[in-house]
Amino acid sequence: MTAPRDKLGRPIVVVTGMGIVTSLGAGKADNWAKLVAGESGIRTISRFPIDGLKTTMAGSVDFVTVDPFSSTGLSERMADIATEEALAQAGIGSKGDFPGPLFLAVAPVEVEWPQRRELGRAVGQQDFNYDDLLRISGGGKFAPFHHRFMFASVADHLADTFGTKGSPISLSTACASGATSIQLGVEAIRRGETDAALCVATDGTVNPEALVRFSLLSALSTQNDPPQAASKPFSKNRDGFVMAEGAGALVLESYEAATARGAKILGVIAGCGELTDSFHRTRSSPDGKPIIGCMQKTLADAGMEPGQIDHINAHGTSTPENDKMEYLTAAAVFGDLAQKIPVTSNKSMVGHTISAAGAVEAIFSLLTLEHQLIPPTINYDVPDPAILFNVVGNKAREARVSAVMSNSFGFGGQNASLILTREPA
Amino acid sequence: MTDTTVSKPGQTEVWITGIGLATSLGEGLDANWAALQERRINVDEKNFAPYVVHPLMPVSLDSQIPKKGDQRQMEAWQRIGTYAAGLALDSAGIKGNKDILSRIDMVVAAGGGERDLNVDVGVLTAEARGNNAPGFLNEKLMSDLRPTLFLAQLSNLLAGNIAIVHGVCGTSRTFMGEEVAGADAARIALTRIASGESDIALIGGSHNGERKDLLVLYEFGDFNLKDKFAPIWARKGRGGFALGSGGAFLVLESRAHAEARGAKPYARLSSVVADLSRRRQPGDMTATLEKLWGKLPLGKGKGAIITGATGAEPATEEERAFLKGHAEFPVRATGTMFGHTMETQFPLGLALAALSISRGALFPPNDSTRLEIEMQGAPTQIVVVGAGHWRGEGMALVEAVG
């Protein structure tokens, strides 16, 4: 019998439920089957016109529909689906009564174009200014827009639906948000504030303006044809990330509470770490110190040595800068092992699910531990000679995996890493 | 309910050792305190008429954001916040202290950034004139949006800018979710320090209330105060809030960490609690506030309440019912003096509570209805209340250091 506390004397935090939605499909079974088969969820965008766009493909989740459409509404619906799956697996609490807090990673919310256009049409003139829009906004006709476009709206809905306790936290640490939601849950359990936490991350922002924004920052791949080949992490000819949608939900519990109720333990969140980069709004410090420090803090938090990590689920966005920095920093942390540890990027298939990515990839990491099979990095045909990672290229690889490091790095100097293990150490 | 109360044995005492304010009343603690003493209110009823806003008292940005390039990369809400955060670091005496700055855990409560109104109206009016080609929106956005505007809009880029400009580079988390995000930022920072996970934190938020895109958002729900300013408690009918511009940041620190570097406290932060009332029935929100009050480790000392009551209904009426039950505590509504600064209102309340305790007096009432009463003597415990205009309730206890 393992002690219910970790090496640092804190409650061990385990995962007892997981749910996932990506462009590959809904649910762990479907996602895992396609992921290890090397299938891509990236397609030419059909949700809105692509004329005039430099990037015309994405990993959009088109099989989930919301009416009236909004990215926030889609984020909410995907979070619902993922949470339902996670709770069904965990078998915790009762319907509408989850015994712990909610930590939600969600994209920043704002009024979107379909709604803005509806407002514009309601002015009923050909020529108008912003004051005319403002003049007709009140009176209750657009009241649902207020509720929809509150930043807290998705978390409020999830808290209402699933009966989480207390004040739900909506957070953003850009592309590291999913990892941060898990970290907040881990911390709450370690402090003994709760025995369980629901950590959800969701992002449904494949819309014209979001695509244009990333395009204008030259962050996106423009290799539109064929769309499935656009995301090519660690390849020499990579040229940017591919926007994608998805959601991941994890039920975290203290090991003690989970075993006491006889729950099946799916894995352990052994360590979390974060470290801010103050170098630039969108670029990493050239010396990589903040990312190196982030990985080192995570190892220290888990009480582990680099040699104990036997797989890295990379941030691996397929941007020229990220993949290079991730290798250089991993080489600093892991030394020669950086060229030996098998590394993969799920983003080669599901694209970059932005706010959801940290949670989506934590779930894929836990499934990797469960199946002892590492999903491939597809489109790995022209390896970048400057990146000496042992990339699991194009074909899934069987491996003995007991501890995975999952990395997430985001705009605004956000770096977060997780270490996931199969069994309590 | 989620709560952090530092009253258990073995838990660390948490001090407020730095405060930064840039508001519609001025910048810095002295200017804000003086304006409060004089019952001054800076309100603009003309430029956004019929809507009422509390505009930012202009600040000299260069003093906290020396690089023009940095200023250009931000929109107003980020500039206000980065400025106020710098004032808080100055106030705590840690500006430029790389050792401490590299360990700070930052929790920012943020909304999103300004839109380019010209681009929005340009698209909509062109469409109204019949430009409905499939790629029209894409082409307009590709050609008209400023490439770096996105970075001025992203919620977590307020924290990002504070990291870049002031070198705050321990950890960085951004909470969103309107008013209660401010309470949750304080709650998580407090609980991390109290449990020994962290020694020092920077928390706060900023808001630009002089934004028509925000007025549109709140007008959808008829939440804006129109035509004429009135104190929070004197707003009739549907009430409403007057958006305010401002930034409020606080440095929270374990007592041991503060003492080791000889830092003096303004006050101690003893407890932060928050909840999400369903607000389905009249009385729901009042009951939640009462439940939160019951969680606070209130002592016997002289108490007061500083509330971020918005003025919007029915939330303000629900809060009034709650306050009635605690009539022995003099009340101050920050919305009257500062306007409604949304995510920033709770940190602003914490800042004013700590300031009042450190100056040995609650600032005077500013209310024609006499709900707010004079307070004699120095407050030793101030309850900060923050109930959202739509959802979310938070409360904190700020006390004199014993």
Of the candidates B144, B157, B113, which has an alpha carbon nearest to the alpha carbon of residue A212?
B144
> From CA A290, how far away is CA A292, in angstroms rounded?
5
User: What stretches of B175-313 show up as alpha helix (H) in DSSP?
Assistant: 179-194, 212-220, 255-260, 284-295
> From CA B247, how far away is CA B245, in angstroms rounded?
7
Q: Looking at the predicted structure, is the pLDDT value of residue B10 above 90?
A: no
Q: Does any CB of chain A come closer than 8 Å to the CB of residue B181?
A: yes
> From CA A130, how far away is CA B275, in angstroms rounded?
36
Of the candidates A291, A160, A317, which has an alpha carbon nearest to the alpha carbon of residue A230?
A317
Query: Using one digit for the tens of pLDDT, what is the confidence trace for A18-68?
Result: 999 999 999 999 999 999 999 999 999 999 999 999 999 999 999 999 999
Q: Looking at the predicted structure, is the pLDDT value of residue B339 above 70?
A: yes
What is the structure's pLDDT at B238?
85
What is the structure's pLDDT at B92?
98
Place of tokens 């919310």: A109
Cβ–Cβ below 8 Å for B1 and A166: yes
Q: Looking at the predicted structure, is the pLDDT value of residue B5 above 80?
A: no
Nearest CB to A208; choose among B137, B218, B219: B137
Q: Are B358 and B399 within 8 A, CB to CB?
A: no
Query: Using one digit for the tens of pLDDT, what is the confidence trace for A7-32?
Result: 999 999 999 999 999 999 999 999 99
**Catalytic positions of A, please?**
175, 315, 352
| Burial label, A305 (beta-carbon count in 10 A; 0-12, 13-18, 19+) | exposed
Phi-psi map region of A216: left, alpha, beta (phi>0 left; psi -120 to 50 alpha):
alpha
**Which residues share a beta bridge with A405?**
A312, A419
Query: Using one digit for the tens of pLDDT, what is the confidence trace for A129-163?
Result: 999 999 999 999 999 999 999 999 999 999 999 99
- pTM score: 0.98
What is the structure's pLDDT at B2?
63
Segment B215-235 mean pLDDT: 97
Closest chain A CA to residue B187? A167
Q: Looking at the predicted structure, is the pLDDT value of residue B9 above 60?
A: no
Give the other-Cβ count within 10 Å of B188's Cβ: 27
Segment A283-305 mean pLDDT: 97
- Determine how β-strand A169-172 pairs with β-strand A102-106: parallel
Q: What 3-state class would DSSP assign to B243?
A: strand
Q: How far is A126 from chain B (nearest CA, A)?
A: 5
The helix, strand and coil proportions of chain B, stated in percent and rounded to the nearest 5, come to 40, 20, 40
Q: Looking at the predicted structure, is the pLDDT value of residue A315 above 90?
A: yes
Residue A116 structure tokens: 């803005």
Query: How is B95-156 classified by DSSP, letter by letter?
Result: TT-HHHHTT-EEEEE---PPP-HHHHHHHHHHHHTT---TTHHHHHHHHHS-TTHHHHH-TT
Query: Using a CB-CB distance cutoff of 8 angstroms, which residues of chain B are in contact with residue A187?
Result: 192, 197
What is the structure's pLDDT at A1?
45
Q: Are B365 and B401 within 8 A, CB to CB?
A: no
Query: Using one digit for the tens of pLDDT, what is the confidence trace for A251-275?
Result: 999 999 999 999 999 999 999 999 9
pLDDT band at B227 (very low <50, low <70, confident <90, very high): very high
> From CA B110, how far away is CA B341, in angstroms rounded?
11
Closest chain A CA to residue B393? A167
Query: Using a CB-CB distance cutoff of 8 angstroms, which residues of chain A are in contact with residue B388?
Result: 152
Q: What domains, with CATH codes, occur in chain B?
A: 3-113+154-399 (3.40.47.10)
- Determine how β-strand B393-399 pairs with β-strand B267-275: antiparallel
What rounded mean pLDDT belongs to chain B? Answer: 96
What is the structure's pLDDT at A355?
98
What is the structure's pLDDT at A13?
98
pLDDT band at A4 (very low <50, low <70, confident <90, very high): confident
What is the structure's pLDDT at B113?
84
Of the candidates B4, B153, B32, which has an alpha carbon nearest to the alpha carbon of residue B91?
B32
Q: Looking at the predicted structure, is the pLDDT value of residue A82 above 60?
A: yes
Q: Looking at the predicted structure, is the pLDDT value of residue A2 above 80?
A: no
What is the structure's pLDDT at A23?
98
Angle separating helix axes B212-220 and A130-137, nearest 10 degrees:
20
Cβ–Cβ below 8 Å for B173 and A180: yes
Segment A384-391 mean pLDDT: 98
> From CA B361, how far away is CA B398, in angstroms rounded?
14
Cα dihedral B317, B319, B325, B329, rounded to 10, equals -120
What is the structure's pLDDT at A281?
94
> From CA A13, how far away is CA A246, in angstroms rounded?
24
ipTM over 0.95: yes
Q: Looking at the predicted structure, is the pLDDT value of residue A301 above 50?
A: yes
Query: Using a CB-CB distance cutoff of 8 angstroms, which residues of chain B are in contact with residue A113?
Result: 137
Characterize A186-213 residue by residue with b for buried, 16 or more Cβ atoms within 10 angstroms of its Cβ, and e for exposed: bbbbbbebbbbbbbbbbbbbbbbbbbbb
Q: Does any CB of chain A come closer than 8 Å to the CB of residue B1?
A: yes
> From CA A296, how far away is CA A346, in angstroms rounded?
23
Cβ–Cβ below 8 Å for A143 and B120: no
Closest chain B CA to residue A130? B121
> From CA A416, how far away is CA A173, in angstroms rounded?
9
Cβ–Cβ below 8 Å for A274 and B157: no
